[in-house]
């Protein structure tokens, strides 16, 4: 424990890799009803206060008293040892993924626009916003069972559409397409079942209307400056295929 505290003391100012408080549920920037008609108020409320809250609670339980207790969310998600604990893998992933999801969604009237650097990169990589939407939709639709569709910046600075099962995400060293997510679409049924039942494609088209491209653009800039992934080598850890 002493070595972890010393480690944290050293890195706390430099990396944000350590923390002193339990993980907490973030607040939405807008009221539950403001995402309608694309996502209904009840879905937003249950998704945040029941599903996301459960990931936060279970993550706090999983790390309490463990060697990983003092680590930040990012440190947990990039630690192969921590990820060997299934409850940490699932719940740290769930907390990180949902926090990102809430950040990139906004009601139409509150959205800020795509900035030039990301717009240019999307055009250069996918050809058009419509092609990006098609690729993301394909990733969302082809994800069997539960998971996420992502737009990530890879360690070699490429924009890539990816998908992960369950609550895995692209910063984990054990996934096949690694990178920093700048956009994530939750394709668990709990994200859409009340309004869309089994119509995942309709939900995808609806949630696309809520993407706040100004925030995604900011995340793109931050990802470009983040050396975390670039310094990590590809993992040899066994991948989980579901
Ligand atoms: Fe979810």
CATH of the domain at 177: 3.55.40.20
- Does residue 174 lie within any of the structural domains? yes
| pLDDT for the residue 7 | 46
Half-sphere exposure of 182 (CA within 13 A, CB side): 28
- Does residue 45 lie within any of the structural domains? yes
Residues with CB under 5 A from ligand 1 (ion): 186, 188, 191
Q: Give the position of tokens 């996420």.
A: 148
pTM given for the model = 0.88
Which tokens is 119 given?
A: 């717009």
d(CA 19, CA 1): 14
Instruction: Dump pLDDT digits (tens) for 114-138.
Output: 999 999 999 999 999 999 999 999 9
Instruction: Dump pLDDT digits (tens) for 149-172.
Output: 999 999 989 999 999 999 999 999
CB 149 within 8 A of CB 136: yes
- 150 Cα–ligand 1 center, Å: 14
CB 184 within 8 A of CB 169: yes
Residues 98 and 125 reside in one and the same domain: no
Residues 96 and 137 reside in one and the same domain: no
Residues 142 and 196 reside in one and the same domain: yes
- 189 Cα–ligand 1 center, Å: 8
Which DSSP category does 238 fall into?
P
Confidence of residue 242 (pLDDT cuts 50, 70, 90): very low
Could you tell me the residue range of the domain that residue 51 belongs to? 2-18+41-104
- 18 Cα–ligand 1 center, Å: 25
| pLDDT for the residue 241 | 34
- 186 Cα–ligand 1 center, Å: 6
CATH code for the domain of 46: 1.10.287.990
Residues 123 and 164 reside in one and the same domain: yes
| pLDDT for the residue 8 | 52
Element (H, E) at 160: strand 159-165
| pLDDT for the residue 53 | 98
Q: How many domains does the chain have?
A: 2
| pLDDT for the residue 5 | 44
């Amino acid at each position: 424990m002493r070595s972890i505290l010393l480690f944290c003391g050293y890195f706390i100012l430099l990396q944000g890799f350590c923390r002193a408080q339990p993980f907490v549920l973030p607040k939405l920037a807008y009221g539950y009803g403001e995402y309608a008609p694309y996502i209904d108020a009840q879905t937003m409320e249950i998704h945040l206060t029941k599903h996301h809250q459960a990931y936060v609670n279970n993550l706090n339980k999983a790390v309490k008293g463990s060697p990983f207790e003092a680590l930040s969310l990012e440190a947990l998600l990039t630690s192969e040892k921590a990820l060997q604990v299934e409850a940490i893998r699932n719940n740290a992933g769930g907390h990180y993924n949902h926090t990102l999801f809430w950040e990139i969604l906004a009601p139409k009237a509150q959205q800020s626009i795509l900035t030039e650097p990301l717009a240019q990169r999307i055009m250069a990589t996918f050809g058009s916003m419509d092609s990006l939407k098609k690729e993301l939709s394909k990733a969302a639709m082809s994800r069997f069972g539960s998971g996420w569709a992502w737009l990530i910046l890879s360690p070699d600075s490429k924009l890539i559409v990816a998908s992960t099962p369950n609550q895995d995400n692209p910063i984990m060293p054990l996934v096949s397409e690694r990178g920093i997510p700048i956009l994530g679409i939750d394709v668990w049924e709990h994200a859409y079942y009340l309004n869309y039942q089994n119509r995942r494609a309709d939900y995808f088209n609806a949630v696309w209307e809520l993407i706040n491209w100004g925030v995604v653009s900011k995340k793109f800039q931050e990802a470009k400056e983040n050396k975390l992934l670039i310094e990590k080598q590809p993992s040899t850890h066994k991948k989980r295929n579901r």
